[in-house]
C-alpha cells in the first residue's frame, strides 16, 4: 500500500481521490508516521466481510466422516501393517 506525506497529499489531492475511488487504498503520514488510511466509500468494513460459510453448498461432507479411516488409524496404533 502506497504511503504519502501530508504535503504530498495536499499537492496531489485530485489524483489521490481518483485512486481511492478506483479502489486503490493508500496511507497519509505525518513526519513518516502513518496517520490515516484512505479508502473508497463503498469499501466494506472488516465487520461486513462475510467469512464463515463462504463456500456453503459447494462442499459435501460424507455421512461417515467421523469414522473414515478408523480401521487404518487403529492398525497404526496397534502396530499392525
Of the candidates 37, 44, 45, which has an alpha carbon nearest to the alpha carbon of residue 20? 37
Asked if 23 and 43 count as a contact pair (C-beta separation under 8 A), the reply is yes
Q: Is residue 47 part of a domain?
A: no
Residue 74 belongs to domain spanning: 2-40+53-78
Output the pLDDT for position 81.
Answer: 63
Q: What is the CA radius of gyration of the chain?
A: 26
Length of the chain: 81
> What total number of domains does the chain contain?
1
**How far is it, in rounded angstroms, from Cα 2 to Cα 28?**
9
Position 44 scores a pLDDT of: 66
- CA-closest candidate to residue 1, choices 30, 31, 34: 34
pLDDT, tens digit only, all 81 positions of the chain: 899 999 999 999 999 999 999 989 999 999 999 999 998 887 766 666 667 777 888 888 888 888 888 888 888 888 766
Domain harbouring 74, CATH code: 3.40.1620.10
pLDDT recorded at residue 18: 93
User: Is the pTM above the cut of 0.95?
Assistant: no
Amino acid at each position: 500500500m502506497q504511503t504519502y506525506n501530508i504535503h504530498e497529499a495536499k499537492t496531489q489531492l485530485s489524483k489521490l481521490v481518483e485512486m481511492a475511488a478506483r479502489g486503490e487504498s493508500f496511507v497519509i503520514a505525518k513526519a513518516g508516521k502513518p496517520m490515516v488510511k484512505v479508502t473508497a466509500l463503498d469499501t466494506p468494513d472488516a465487520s461486513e466481510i462475510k467469512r464463515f460459510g463462504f463456500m456453503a453448498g459447494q462442499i459435501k461432507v460424507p455421512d461417515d466422516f467421523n469414522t473414515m479411516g478408523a480401521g487404518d488409524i487403529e492398525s497404526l496404533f496397534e502396530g499392525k501393517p
